[in-house]
Amino acid sequence: MSEIKDLMTKLDQFIEDRNWGPYQTPKDLALSISIEAAELLEDFQWISSEEALQKNEENIREEIADVLIYSLMFCSKLDLDVKEIIEEKMVKNARKYPVPVERT
């Protein structure tokens, strides 16, 4: 998980080097996540998944990178531990969606 922390440190430095900090509000980062996710969806609009992946692979990679970058920036801004919040959510989801019991 230190790789994610290292990546977040690089992102923080990138932002600091450009003096973008004042513009990185939680509201604006949340909006940016949603906007980038919508741009990702555009690559799949009106075509099959297979066709979208074939025609738009490079842009899909870039848009998912944008979603992840803004998500990590959001976590950094709110001092959230990415590993911790993901693990907490997985526990909650496991309770909400238990593994089906096989019937014999």
Does the pLDDT at position 1 exceed 60?
Answer: no
Q: Write down all domains in the chain, each with its CATH number in brackets.
A: 2-79 (1.10.287.1080)
Three-state SS at 3: helix
- pTM equals 0.88
For residues 72-91, give the mean pLDDT: 96
Which pLDDT score, from 0 to 100, does residue 6 have? 94
> Can you tell me the distance from the alpha carbon of 72 to that of 6, in angstroms, rounded to the nearest whole number?
11
**26-42 and 49-77 helices, crossing angle to 10°:** 170
> Can you tell me the distance from the alpha carbon of 30 to that of 24, in angstroms, rounded to the nearest whole number?
10
Which pLDDT score, from 0 to 100, does residue 103 have? 77
Phi, psi of 32 (to 5 degrees): -65, -40
pLDDT tens, position by position, 25-74: 999 999 999 999 999 999 999 999 999 999 999 999 999 999 999 999 99
> Can you tell me the distance from the alpha carbon of 29 to that of 72, in angstroms, rounded to the nearest whole number?
10
